[in-house]
Structures are given as structure tokens and as C-alpha cells.
């Protein structure tokens, strides 16, 4: 992991500021910000403590908590009249990055079709990019690609760069690849397993993804060739399981969880999509598919995290059809707010998992 920038001091108060910041723990990692290497700057300018904190992700779900804790601790230092906290971000990766330049690869699976997996994947990618992360999106649903349409680039075609690598298409601040941009619209792809494996290899290793904090992979339904190819090709950071609340969806979601566990892929969390419906005229909430299934599923696997519940919302469908995901088209809608929070929760889970994989303190000047 790269060392954090040196902490700069002046006016003779740096030791007290630093001591104060050693009392502030990251609320998810449960270690102090100084030993985690998250303090880039700690200066006393006049009576103002100027502190820069490098978060483990720009989508940190507890940024406000960290700011409040840093401010409270710094105000206890003698000579400090005010505190100015600035934030940066440095997304970490596992000891061996999964792909050159790519820090984390996250697959989004479902076990069955029709649960809104692709919609969740595209919204997560756009939400993370909107929060400041560098994000890629790979449509691995080779037989039924939909990401190109959902990203508003159904007519675009993938080209090769000077190094003869596939050049991802960019939309909404996200770089993506989809078979939908290689095949004519509506044309069926009739391939056997080995050809699928070859396509996944090319999408991952023969594409110019550049530097990415997160590569989100939208999987096809089921537990077949594409899933196996991915686990054999790249070290996955983890999997997100999308389900709807009803029992038939939960049965297939449990199979997806079991497959990833057998392949030693960590489960980052479960998303309950179409969790409930709020009538726009009355505001009354209806549990059309039986809300709470994701929680039951999580408990049946020993307490997996539930990243969030997304309400059934016609705007999500309309926005996907229009090629502009809901987190961008209607960011203040209940569904978009839920999806954005799920993206924060996911980023937080990845940060926790990354640090749990290394018990050694991060380097600090």
C-alpha cells in the first residue's frame, strides 16, 4: 500500500494536535486515524487547526461522524479556537490488485432474473462515480446485455486503442463495456461455454480500463459459466447479491451465495430490491412482494450484511429506459436515495474488508 503523505506541522502545537487525533477512531475500522495513515495534514495556523483527512473511500458512509469527532478532539487542544477539516480519499486495494490499475472488482449477482440486478449495478456504479470514485462497469450478461441501454449508449460501438485493447465507452462518469455495444440490437448470441470464457477474459484483461477504484461487474442470472470464469480469471473483492423479498427469489439468491462461498468469494452484502411500494397519492406503504426477505436470508447465512432496501418505483424503470440511472436523473427520489446509501455502505464494507486483510499498521511519515 502506498505511504500516506507526510504530516506537516508548525507553530509548535503539532504534538498536541497529533496526540488529539490519536484519540479519534475510524468508526468502521476501529483504529485511530493517525495509525491508519489517514492524516495528510495537521497544522495550527493562528488559532485554527487545519486538518486534512484522507478517507478510505470518497463514498465513506460515516464522513460526517469522522468530521465531528476530529473537530471535537482538536478543540480540546490548547490554543485552538476553530477547526477546519478537509477531506481527500485514497481507496485501498488488497495486497495483489485484481487487475493492473484496478483496485477492487465487485460482482453483482442474483441467482435469478427479473430482480433488477442490472438496474442496481448501473445505479451503484453511477452513485460511486458521483461521489468522486473512479468507476468501471462491465456487463458480463453476455446473452442478455442491458447495461449499454441503461447507460444511454445503446448505439455506441466499442473501438480499439493504439495498443489494440478495447476502449471502454464512457457515460455519466463511468467507463463501461457491454456486448450490447458489439452486437447489432436484437441479435441473439449463440455461444457455448468456452466462447463465454474467452469473452470474459477479453473484457477483463484486453480492455484499457485505466485506473479504477471500483470495477462493478453485472452478472447474468444463475450460477453458470460466466460466474465460474470470473472466479477463475480474477481475484474478486467480493459479491453483492440482489434479491426481491418473495421466497422464490430468496431460494435462488441463496444458491448464488452458496456458489460464491464455495469459490471463496466474500459476500459484501445483500440488496433487497422492490422491497415495498409507497403510493404517490396517499403515501401509504405496501409490501407487494413481502418486505424483509433479505434480512431473513442474511440471518440464514450467519448474519450477512444487508446493504439496504430499494422501494419499487416507476421512476427507476423509466430512468433506466431513458439511459440515465435514477441516482442521476432523480437523485432525491426515495429509490435513488436508497441506492446512493447502498453505494456508501458497499464502499464502507470494502474498506473494512481490505483493512481486515492486513493487520500491519499502514505506513505514516
The per-residue pLDDT for 281 is 84
Give the three cell numbers for residue 230.
Answer: 470470473
**What Å distances lie between residue 267 and 6, 17, 261, 271, 305, CA to CA?**
35, 39, 8, 11, 8
- Lowest pLDDT segment from 44-58, 87-101, 307-321: 87-101
Whether 73 and 42 have beta carbons less than 8 Å apart is answered as no
Whether 64 and 70 have beta carbons less than 8 Å apart is answered as no
Q: 357 pLDDT band (50/70/90 cuts)?
A: low
Does 118 show up as a binding residue in the annotation? yes
CA distance 229 to 219: 11
CB proximity list for 29: less than 8 A, separation 6 or greater: 36, 56, 351, 352, 355
The phi and psi torsions of 239 (rounded to 5 degrees) equal -125, 145
Mean pLDDT over 40-56 rounds to 92
Could you tell me which residues are beta bridge partners of residue 167? 159
- Lowest pLDDT segment from 11-20, 119-128, 233-242: 11-20
- Lowest pLDDT segment from 46-60, 82-96, 185-199, 300-314: 185-199
Does 116 show up as a binding residue in the annotation? yes
Whether 243 and 293 have beta carbons less than 8 Å apart is answered as yes
In this predicted model, what pLDDT tens digit does every residue of 78-135 receive, in sequence order?
999 999 999 999 998 877 788 999 999 999 999 888 899 999 999 999 999 999 999 9
By the 10 Å C-beta count (0-12 exposed, 13-18 middle, 19+ buried), 279 is classed as: exposed
Instruction: Using the predicted structure, report yes or no on whether residue 201 has a pLDDT greater than 50.
Output: yes
Does 132 show up as a binding residue in the annotation? no
Q: 9 pLDDT band (50/70/90 cuts)?
A: very low
Q: 4 pLDDT band (50/70/90 cuts)?
A: very low
Q: 183 pLDDT band (50/70/90 cuts)?
A: confident
The per-residue pLDDT for 222 is 82
Which residue has better confidence, 186 or 77?
A: 77
Mean of the per-residue pLDDT values for the chain? 89
Mean pLDDT over 29-44 rounds to 92
Whether 271 and 124 have beta carbons less than 8 Å apart is answered as no
Does 193 show up as a binding residue in the annotation? no
Instruction: Using the predicted structure, report yes or no on whether residue 14 has a pLDDT greater than 60.
Output: yes
CA distance 231 to 256: 13
Which residue has better confidence, 53 or 196?
A: 53
Q: 8 pLDDT band (50/70/90 cuts)?
A: very low
- Lowest pLDDT segment from 5-9, 51-55, 80-84, 291-295: 5-9
Does 111 show up as a binding residue in the annotation? yes
Does 115 show up as a binding residue in the annotation? yes
Whether 48 and 18 have beta carbons less than 8 Å apart is answered as no
Q: 7 pLDDT band (50/70/90 cuts)?
A: very low
Domain ranges within the chain, ordered by starting residue? 14-89, 105-356
14-89 CATH: 3.30.300.130
Does 113 show up as a binding residue in the annotation? yes
Whether 331 and 340 have beta carbons less than 8 Å apart is answered as yes
At the fourth CATH level, which superfamily is domain 105-356? P-loop containing nucleotide triphosphate hydrolases (3.40.50.300)
Does 296 show up as a binding residue in the annotation? no
Amino acid at each position: 500500500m502506498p505511504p500516506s503523505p507526510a504530516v506537516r506541522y508548525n507553530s509548535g502545537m503539532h504534538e498536541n494536535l497529533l496526540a488529539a487525533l490519536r484519540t479519534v477512531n475510524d468508526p468502521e475500522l476501529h483504529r485511530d486515524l493517525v495509525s491508519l495513515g489517514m492524516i495528510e495534514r495537521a497544522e495550527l495556523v493562528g488559532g485554527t487547526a487545519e486538518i486534512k483527512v484522507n478517507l478510505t473511500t470518497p463514498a465513506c458512509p460515516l464522513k460526517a461522524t469522522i468530521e465531528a469527532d476530529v473537530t471535537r478532539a482538536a478543540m480540546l487542544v490548547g490554543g485552538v479556537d476553530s477547526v477546519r477539516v478537509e477531506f481527500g480519499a485514497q481507496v485501498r486495494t488488497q495486497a495483489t490488485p485484481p487487475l493492473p490499475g484496478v483496485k477492487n472488482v465487485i460482482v453483482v449477482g442474483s441467482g435469478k432474473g427479473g430482480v433488477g440486478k442490472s438496474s442496481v449495478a448501473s445505479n451503484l456504479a453511477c452513485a460511486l462515480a458521483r461521489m468522486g470514485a473512479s468507476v468501471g462497469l462491465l456487463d458480463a450478461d453476455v446473452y442478455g446485455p442491458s447495461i449499454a441501454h441503461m447507460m444511454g449508449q445503446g448505439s455506441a460501438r466499442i473501438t480499439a486503442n493504439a495498443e489494440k485493447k478495447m476502449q471502454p465507452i464512457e457515460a455519466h462518469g463511468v467507463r463501461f463495456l457491454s456486448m450490447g455495444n458489439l452486437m447489432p440490437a436484437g441479435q441473439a448470441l449463440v455461444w457455448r461455454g468456452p466462447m463465454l470464457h474467452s469473452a470474459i477474459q477479453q473484457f477483463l484483461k484486453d480492455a484499457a480500463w485505466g485506473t479504477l477504484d471500483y470495477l462493478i461487474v453485472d452478472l447474468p442470472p444463475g450460477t453458470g459459466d460466466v460466474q465460474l470464469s470470473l472466479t477463475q480469471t480474477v481475484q474478486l473483492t467480493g459479491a453483492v447479491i440482489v434479491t426481491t423479498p418473495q421466497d422464490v427469489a430468496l431460494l435462488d439468491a441463496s444458491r448464488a451465495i452458496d456458489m460464491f462461498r464455495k469459490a471463496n468469494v466474500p459476500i459484501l452484502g445483500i440488496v433487497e430490491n422492490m422491497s415495498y411500494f409507497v403510493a404517490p397519492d396517499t403515501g401509504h406503504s405496501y409490501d407487494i412482494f413481502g418486505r424483509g426477505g433479505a434480512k431473513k436470508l442474511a440471518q440464514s447465512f450467519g448474519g450477512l450484511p444487508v446493504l439496504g432496501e430499494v422501494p419499487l418505483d416507476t421512476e427507476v424503470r423509466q430512468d433506466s429506459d431513458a439511459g440515465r440511472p435514477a441516482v442521476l436523473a432523480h437523485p432525491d427520489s426515495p429509490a435513488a436515495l436508497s441506492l446512493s446509501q447502498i453505494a456508501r455502505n458497499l464502499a464502507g464494507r470494502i474498506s473494512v474488508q481490505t483493512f481486515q486483510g492486513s493487520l500491519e499498521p499502514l505506513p505514516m511519515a
